[in-house]
Amino acid sequence: MQEKRSDSTLEIKNLNISFIQGEKEANALRGISLSLKRNEVHSLVGESGSGKTVTSTCIMGLLPTPPGRINSGQIILNDQDLLLLEEKDQRQIRGKEIAMVFQEPARYLNPTLKVGDQITEMLILHLGMGKGEALDRALEIFDLVGLDGGKRILDSYPHELSGGMKQRIMIAIAISCNPAFLIADEPTTALDVTLQLQILKLILSLKNTLDMGILFISHDLRVVHDISDWVSVIYAGRIVESASREKLFSDPKHPYTRLLLESIPDADKRGKRLQTIPGKVPDAEDIPGGCAFHTRCPLAEDICKTVQPETKEVGEGHSHTTACHFIGKQWKQWKN
Amino acid sequence: MEFVFFIIRRFLRLLLTIFIISTIIFFVIRVIPGDPALVVAGLDASEDDIQAIRVRLGTDVPVAVQYGRWLSDIVRFDFGESMISGASVNKLILERFPLTLTLAVLGILLGLIVAIPLGVLSAVHRWSFWDYFGMVYSQMGMAIPSFWLGMILLLVFAVKIPIFPLFGSDSLKNLILPAIALGFARAAVILRLTRAAMVEELNREYIITARAKGLTDRMIRYKHALKNAMIAVVTVTGIQFGYMLGGAIIVEQVFSLPGLGRLFLYAIYQRDFPLIQGGVVFIAVVFSLVNFTVDILYSVLNPKIRIS
């Protein structure tokens, strides 16, 4: 293994991104801050359309501009702002320092290239390996991600392999250059439940053996509960609550987080009507003023419609932050 | 091993196609009103003469027997003699085929040389100069008839500026202008298809993976996207090539080239039934062989096909 050059954190600071379509402007991210530490899983949770994928695309430097526009913010790695780097230098980071695993391996692998080609091209490009050396390294990585039948898999096309194997291959490709950080965008959503568990275990064990920081993007709170060290909840392009896993699941402060937790089906709730959150995430081009959640919030009062709540510390140190005017306030039975 | 079975399956399908085509052409010819013997003999021949011609043509026996003979002749690649010239159909076709083949190969090569780079360029730099150039070109290519283009080419490059010969067919130089006339329109079709396929592939998810790997644009386009895009292009190019091998009747006529197209055209004018039959079967065989080759190429490009 080559020496690591990366710092221990990947810092996203006040990222503000919009999409321009003709006259319309959609605010996809409205000031996102996240920090990702080595050997830690930081989950980003939210409904679809809340800005999870935009965040990860932007970190990878893959945001198409236009239509995307970065209004402000920084992504700091090794004292460098990745957003200021030229494309050529960004390519040195992509795959090598920060790698990504996607949701549907079947669609995210090239159907006409052998698996061997798809994994070795990166090793050859980033680490300057020869073909033979790269193939040997690929076999080592296959062992690491629990793929047996190494040589045969190198010679296979993606469609010849099962869904679980394909996702292991995606992961193998992502970790092949020993990246400091890994972005996993719903890596288990397209898999069945037993496979989900295996892949999650694999991701956790790789985090430890490779000392990786993982940004885990998901809408599934149960998965997030199993895997995370830290959890941030995103709503309409803003992080509404961020805390260690224990804090977030035992003592959620933001009404959105609380409602999300209540909507997890659970054996204790058998027989009761499952809580749902009425309405849906607002369109990015039509985000309500004040607190964006006020249209769906049981606590909303007049102030919520006009004043956007500041992000406040609610725990000791920096262990828990949330953005709500009525932190921790209880509400009566939610009318469904 | 799987690949061998695949080839055997496709080969059997090829034989079946040829069998079906030859059966259809046999019955179609017999359904067309008129007795070929009457055509050969002329209006004032005696009944005995006509009967003699029927015996010579083999049309005196029942249709079932004729069909049997036809099939057994085909198996031996024997298509009989031309009713007009008396030469064997095989000889006539094989004499003309090299010219048609050269013309088709040149035409399709010219088409591909123009179409693929321009199509890829248009897709990669959408709404750029090259893209608009490609659009204008393909509109013109599809709208301009090849006989008109052929005549203009002759007028400009053989008459006004005599770089190329006006007629003749004995050197490659004679085939350049006809190949351009033929390839121009093919290029238009292949260009549109290349652009569309390339745009589609560049929007696929695996391209995002390739970008996330930190690959260069060049690798993403030419290693990842182009190979997938070529799958569709190969199929259409093959079909176009197959058509061209049947003889480019109009272009051959404009440039007075003695190719297959002209041979078959005159066979139809003169009701030369054995030559028409032989010609149709020949075209069918060539067409099937081209498709067979395309299928194999296709499966090399697209590993998924081999399974299904």
CATH at residue A103: 3.40.50.300
Of B206, B211, B216, the CB nearest to A62: B211
Contact B258, B96 (CB under 8 A): yes
The whole-number pLDDT of residue A2 equals 44
Of B209, B231, B304, the CB nearest to A102: B209
Q: Which residues contact B204 (CB under 8 A, 6 or more apart)?
A: A107, B225, B228
Of A94, A112, A159, the CB nearest to B213: A94
Between B273 and A253, name the one with better pLDDT: A253
Instruction: Read off the pLDDT of each residue in A52-71 and give the average, rounded to a whole number.
Output: 87
Question: Which chain B residue shows the shortest CA-CA distance from A123?
Answer: B213
Residues A289-311 pLDDT 10s: 888 888 888 777 788 888 888 88
Q: Which residues contact A132 (CB under 8 A, 6 or more apart)?
A: none
Instruction: Read off the pLDDT of each residue in B108-114 and give the average, rounded to a whole number.
Output: 91
d(CA B61, CA B54) in angstroms, rounded, equals 9
CA distance A104 to chain B (A): 9
The whole-number pLDDT of residue A5 equals 52
Residues of A in contact with B303 (CB under 8 A): 111-112, 157, 159-160
Residues B209-257 pLDDT 10s: 999 998 988 899 998 999 889 988 888 888 888 888 876 788 888 888 8
Mean pLDDT across chain B, nearest whole number?
A: 85
Would you say the C-alpha torsion A187, A191, A192, A195 has a positive or negative sign? negative
Of B213, B231, B304, the CB nearest to A159: B304
Between A216 and A1, name the one with better pLDDT: A216
- Residues in A whose CB is inside 8 Å of some CB of B read 60, 62, 90-96, 99-100, 102, 104, 107-113, 121-122, 125-126, 157, 159-160, 170, 173
Between B300 and A214, name the one with better pLDDT: A214
Domain count, chain A: 1
The yes-or-no verdict on residue B203 having pLDDT over 50 is yes
Instruction: Read off the pLDDT of each residue in B80-101 and give the average, rounded to a whole number.
Output: 87
Q: How many CB pairs under 8 A join A and B?
A: 79
Where in chain B are all domains bearing CATH 1.10.3720.10?
98-258
Lowest mean pLDDT among A225-234, A276-285, B12-21: A276-285
Q: What is the CATH number of domain B98-258?
A: 1.10.3720.10
Residues of B in contact with A94 (CB under 8 A): 211-214
The whole-number pLDDT of residue B21 equals 87
The whole-number pLDDT of residue B308 equals 47
The whole-number pLDDT of residue A1 equals 42
Pairing type for strands A9-21 and A68-77 reads antiparallel
The yes-or-no verdict on residue B196 having pLDDT over 90 is yes
Residue window 221-240, chain B: list those with CB within 8 Å of chain A.
223-224, 227-228, 231
Q: State which amino acid sits at residue A222.
A: R
Do the chains contact at A107 and B210, CB–CB below 8 Å? Answer: no
Instruction: Read off the pLDDT of each residue in A147-158 and give the average, rounded to a whole number.
Output: 87
Could you tell me if residue A70 is inside a domain? yes
Residues of B in contact with A92 (CB under 8 A): 214
Could you tell me if residue A3 is inside a domain? no
Contact B181, B285 (CB under 8 A): no
Residues of A in contact with B302 (CB under 8 A): 111-112
The whole-number pLDDT of residue B197 equals 93
Between A102 and B35, name the one with better pLDDT: A102
**This model's pTM is above 0.90:** no
Do the chains contact at B206 and A95, CB–CB below 8 Å? Answer: no
A interface mutation test: which of B213, B217, B302 has the most A CBs within 10 A?
B213
The yes-or-no verdict on residue B104 having pLDDT over 50 is yes
Of B215, B303, B307, the CB nearest to A112: B303
What's the domain range around A290?
9-110+179-322
CA distance B190 to chain A (A): 21
The whole-number pLDDT of residue A261 equals 85
Q: Which of B271, B278, B279 is nearest to B34 (CA)?
A: B271
Lowest mean pLDDT among B85-94, B116-125, B170-179: B170-179
* % of chain A surpassing 70 pLDDT: 94
Q: Is B219 on the interface with A (CB under 8 A)?
A: yes
Q: Is B39 on the interface with A (CB under 8 A)?
A: no
Residues of B in contact with A100 (CB under 8 A): 209, 212
B interface mutation test: which of A87, A91, A110, A114 has the most B CBs within 10 A?
A110
CB atoms within 10 A of CB A84: 10
Between B246 and A125, name the one with better pLDDT: A125
Residues of A in contact with B216 (CB under 8 A): 91, 125
The whole-number pLDDT of residue B277 equals 84
Query: Which residues are paired to A30 by β-bridges?
Result: A16
The whole-number pLDDT of residue A173 equals 92
Residues of A in contact with B227 (CB under 8 A): 112-113
Q: Which residues contact A147 (CB under 8 A, 6 or more apart)?
A: A153, A165, A168, A169, A172
The yes-or-no verdict on residue B111 having pLDDT over 80 is yes
d(CA A327, CA A116) in angstroms, rounded, equals 52
Could you tell me if residue A146 is inside a domain? no
Do the chains contact at A109 and B209, CB–CB below 8 Å? Answer: yes
Between B170 and B275, name the one with better pLDDT: B275
Of B208, B214, B303, the CB nearest to A157: B303
Residues A27-36 pLDDT 10s: 888 888 888 8
CA distance B4 to chain A (A): 18
d(CA A237, CA B210) in angstroms, rounded, equals 27
The yes-or-no verdict on residue A245 having pLDDT over 60 is yes
Of A102, A104, A125, the CB nearest to B214: A125
The yes-or-no verdict on residue A284 having pLDDT over 50 is yes
Could you tell me if residue A289 is inside a domain? yes
Instruction: Read off the pLDDT of each residue in B203-214 and give the average, rounded to a whole number.
Output: 90
Q: Which of A9, A34, A109, A221 is nearest to B303 (CA)?
A: A109
d(CA B110, CA B106) in angstroms, rounded, equals 6
Of A92, A109, A111, the CB nearest to B214: A92
Do the chains contact at B212 and A111, CB–CB below 8 Å? Answer: no
The 8-class DSSP code of residue B208 comes to: H
Identify the burial level of B230 via C-beta atoms within 10 angstroms of its C-beta, where 0-12 means exposed, 13-18 middle and 19 or more buried: buried
Instruction: Read off the pLDDT of each residue in A179-198 and give the average, rounded to a whole number.
Output: 86
Do the chains contact at B212 and A121, CB–CB below 8 Å? Answer: no
The yes-or-no verdict on residue A334 having pLDDT over 60 is no
The yes-or-no verdict on residue A123 having pLDDT over 70 is yes
Residues of B in contact with A113 (CB under 8 A): 223-224, 227
Of A100, A107, A121, the CB nearest to B215: A121
CA distance B237 to chain A (A): 20
Of B211, B224, B301, the CB nearest to A110: B224
Lowest mean pLDDT among A4-8, A252-256, A318-322, B115-119: A4-8
Instruction: Read off the pLDDT of each residue in B21-33 and give the average, rounded to a whole number.
Output: 82
Residues of A in contact with B301 (CB under 8 A): 112
The yes-or-no verdict on residue A60 having pLDDT over 70 is yes
The whole-number pLDDT of residue A297 equals 80
